[in-house]
A and B are shown apart, each in its own frame.
Chain A
Amino acid sequence: MSAVFLVLSAFLASAVEMVEALTIVLAAGIARGWRSALTGVGAATVALAAIVAALGPALTLVPLRDLRLVVGTLLLLFGLQWLRKAILRASGFKALHDEDAAFAEELAAARAAGREERAGIDWYGFTIAFKGVLLEGLEVAFIVLTFGSTQGSIPLAAAGAAGALVLVGGVGVAVRAPLARVPENAVKFAVGIMLTTFGIFWSAEGAGVKWPGSDASLPGVLAFVCASSALLVAQLRARRRRLATA
């Protein structure tokens, strides 16, 4: 069960971040040329691989209980950020993320920027693609490393992220357009719920708590987070309706 959660969480979180990175790379490639944009993607991928290669083995040296306390707390902080935004979007208090609008904004900025070539590479296109992939990828690297190390299987978490890379990258190359049809809020909601669930479970274990039934209580925590989120969406929707009619 934990293995399924692990792969699914890494896959979904990676897919969402990769959709956002793809939008930035597409805008850089179309406006500034593919050579510069793809060089930026390559450089960022190498940087991310170096971060994972350096931190991955280091994390396995930390005692599991300490690791779960720190990683669980970080995942909880992370998960609540995602969940909070997803609930605000689902209840209408925050605008839905629009990948087409983000693409148009990136494209306009890339077209307006001045041209500066270094070693035959357009510096703006390179930098935008590099930063986009590195910053979105850092979150993926964090999730893969923390999930993988606390569950004792970095390769399994990496497999989930690799699956997302193949899917999003493949579709991106095929359509060469932002993936606006991806139900981003629903995916972000699911990721927020999973990160929060794992965060609660691991940080409590790291704090010295014994869960009833050990790992078997994980679906119970998941159900609690799902039900709480649904109730909070309903409560905020009702509040929004009251505000609209007042």
Chain B
Amino acid sequence: MSRIAAFGRFWWEFVVGDDWVAALGVVVAVAVTAALAAWWVLPLAVLAVLYVSLQRAAQ
């Protein structure tokens, strides 16, 4: 069980990293981009996600 947990933890840290909110934000941003099909959505959404993530980290 501990090996499975370690395997899961490795992939979580590899893909999600320190801030799960930022990871969730990226997935939502890509989904919204797909829904609106507008090129300017994703750059702005990524900037917003990065801003929020940095403010949380700097608290």
Residues of chain A whose beta carbon lies under 8 Å from any beta carbon of chain B: 69, 72-74, 76-78, 80-81, 83-85, 87-88, 91, 93-94, 138-139, 196, 200, 203-204, 207-212, 217, 221, 224-225, 228, 232, 236, 239-240
Contact = CB atoms under 8 A, between A and B. Distances in A.
- Secondary structure of the A side of the interface? helix
Contacts of A232: 50-51, 54
Interface string B11-50: 0001111110011001100110110011101110011011
Given A203-B33, A225-B46, A232-B51, 16 more contacts: A72-B30, A74-B15, A78-B15, A80-B26, A80-B46, A80-B53, A81-B17, A88-B58, A94-B57, A200-B42, A207-B37, A208-B34, A210-B39, A221-B43, A225-B43, A236-B54
A32 B40 CA distance: 54
A7 B37 CA distance: 30
Nearest to A208: B37
A76 B37 contact: no
Given A84-B50, A228-B47, A77 B34 contact: no
Contacts of A80: 22, 26, 46, 49-50, 53
Nearest to A87: B54
A25 to B, nearest CB: 20
A77 B26 contact: yes
A239 B58 contact: yes
Given A81-B18, A212-B39, A204 B58 contact: no
Identify the 10 closest CB pairs spanning chains A and B, nearest first.
A207-B34, A81-B17, A204-B42, A207-B33, A209-B39, A93-B58, A228-B47, A203-B30, A76-B26, A208-B37
14 contacts: A77-B23, A80-B22, A80-B53, A84-B53, A84-B54, A88-B54, A93-B58, A94-B57, A204-B42, A207-B30, A209-B33, A221-B43, A224-B47, A236-B58
Q: Which of B30, B34, B51, B53 has the most CB of A within 10 A?
A: B30
A232 B57 CA distance: 13
A214 B11 CA distance: 33
Nearest to A85: B18
A58 to B, nearest CB: 18
Contacts of A225: 43, 46
A67 to B, nearest CB: 14
B29 to A, nearest CB: 8
Contact of A209 (B23, B31, B38, B58): B38
A84 B57 contact: yes
A93 B59 CA distance: 9
B48 to A, nearest CB: 10
